[in-house]
Chain A
Amino acid sequence: MRIIKKIQTRKGAKLNIKGEAEKVFKKTLPSKTYALKPDDFFGILPKLLKKEGEEIKTGEPVFFSKNEPRIKFVSPVSGFIKSIERGARRKIEKIIISSSSNDNSELHEVSNWENLNRDELKKLLLDSGNWPYIHQRPYGTIADPNETPKAIFVSTHTTNPLCPDFDFILNKEIEDFQNGISALNKLSDQHVFLGTDASFPGMFKNISDVQHYTVSGLHPAGNISLHIQELAPLNMGDRVWTVNPEDVVKLGCFLSTGKFSPKRTVAITGNSVEQPKYIVTKQGAELQPILNEFKLLYDQNRVINGDVLTGTISCLDGHLGYFNNQISIIPEGNDYRMFGWLPFKDNNILSLSNTSFSRLFKKKDFEVDTNINGEERALVVTGEMEKVFPLDIYPMQLIKACIVEDIEKMEALGIYEVVPEDFGLIDYANTSKIEAQEIIREGIELMINEVG
């Protein structure tokens, strides 16, 4: 297969953190409860279809999107709705489903999916709860089924700290992967792009109906924003769709069985975990039974749904996120450090700055914790964000435009081309400890509300 482009970037950084998952699957006990968290679906206002106590089948809708009622969110297991947890202003935080031993799945007619036209395929994916796997740019929200994207991107090469290896995860499911890709092809007039790492692993060579490209470089080279910029730059009004690699498999699996596939492969990573490994579970699984199988090295740990740069905080008795292929567990850093402001002191703390010898003395296996290592300050230092930001965008200027809510400027500076995750390393590296991802997320919310 021809490679249409080799994307390379020198900007960025590899954070060598201890706790990469060994490529072995560990058996865990099945979870008793599963949770759907509307917050996992950015920009969705949930409207419930089920009440507490009601029975539910795998693949049966639990809630739908208020703005686009055709987008349904389905249960990963069969059982009954155990509880609906609400937060401030009755916002739905979690819908907890208790799973029963017998597994009933909602069945959809899929035998002739290859002959369906675009609208029929869309309807099938919407009805079966498979639509939320498709995200759109700009904004990184769930794709609008009324639109046709100018391209669809799937990238199996990720560069987040301790990220799972999709070559390993997808190894045995290449057939379903191909089916998923073929289905995505029907949704776009133009190309489906498939990104792999620079070695272009053999298993992806035979995938057809795609434009192959390879990616190499430091994090955030694996972020799709960069790939889109290189291959199909997003202009105002354009739509590009993205799908996570394992979700492509799930689409393919659904199209061959007719059943919603809740399977999720997760890498349990982080320097709190003694022997990090992969596990197989279902979306929204309770974390407790999974983590019981792992030995944690510290007393106070932070459990993160996702990676240490962009994940969301969970807790030991929390639930796995809907899209995560990774759980990171690192120790909390709530202790004091004497004279920590002295340059070249505390070189055991991973630092990208040259005011520390950390990278000189030690090349890998850094222990990290959640200490901020300072306090938030005004933006003073310049040029440091650009070093870890490969997009052709001025990151600090965009952040400032978002802070002052200057929509015209945000538009001009490229808000359509970014998602908060692209600013994860900036969060990490910036001297002033500003919350870049939060600022960009608020900026994007503003854009959705004001511009749409």
Chain B
Amino acid sequence: MILSERKRSYLLPSALILLLILGCAALYSASYGGESGTKINYVALQLRWIAIGACLAGLVFIINYKRLLELSYLFYAANLILLLIVMFIAQPKLGAARWVSFFGVNCQPSELMKLVIILTLARFLSSYKYKEAGAGCVAVCLILVFFPVILILKQPDLGTSLIFIPILFAMLYIWGIRLRYIVLTFISGAAAAPLLWTLLKDYQKQRLLVFINPDIDPLGAGYTIIQSKIAIGSGGFWGKGLLRGSQGQLNFLPEHHTDFIFSCIGEEWGFIGAVIVILLFFIIIWEGLNIAQRSENMEKKLLAVGISTLFVLHVVINICMCIGLMPVVGLPLPFISYGGSHIIVFLILAGILLNLKFDDS
């Protein structure tokens, strides 16, 4: 509000670029010591993904978001087919089958689905008005979300599958649904939770139990939570300095270049660095919501809210997991964690957000 309108428009892209740079620095540190013998240069790989993602983001920035919305049902169908392919023919990695290979390139359809579901819901909801449509329309939305959730849950990937539900509610809420429907759904969801528990895999149950008390299995499932808390906590206010984090550098912290990269940031850059990263995320998300707030167009509102909600969920869940406030679920930290599918999808989402921002229609 202090900044002029013109300067404000640079806030979102600058925060994004800064975050990508910080992400590469963190990744450099996280992959620096590496496992001796199997050193992988994650920064170079990540830069490749960023390049591809930036090109695609530029593409969606240039073409109108309306073209994407028109194609969204097609995307949805294609993505569902990809998920089915994963379910039947994909090769398991780390105990879960999430990858499908195209011409030697592994891609994760569940990551792509995050983008597609937002587009699909935005298109579907924007073509109806709540006062005219009513309950039938909500039911269709639930069905649209149900298929991907079940398929991803089957992979099994609890974190990704559950993330679709709050996105749906956020978009429905903006669309104009009555609060009582949402409350009602939450209550029935809570009632169904025990039922859901029986559907969970053993390792998923274990993760949830360990979250409640990490000490029940300090060397097994609780290990990651404990090590992550030690890493972040030992960073203190100023941090141990780049490449100086003993937890990350000495590999005490597993997965520290992907889901637990925030623990490395907390350890090496301290409270001050971690807060800067969080604030950059906050700027991006806040700007996304400002787009929705200022626009009168329901399509834009829905898209901006859907994307912002997705960002918020990823950031909050990932960081809460690193500081031990949430169970371990495999959600990457946007723009920072290493991962091809995730970087590309999130950059496309950022491209859409920018497109919405500079769209004058």
- Same complex: no
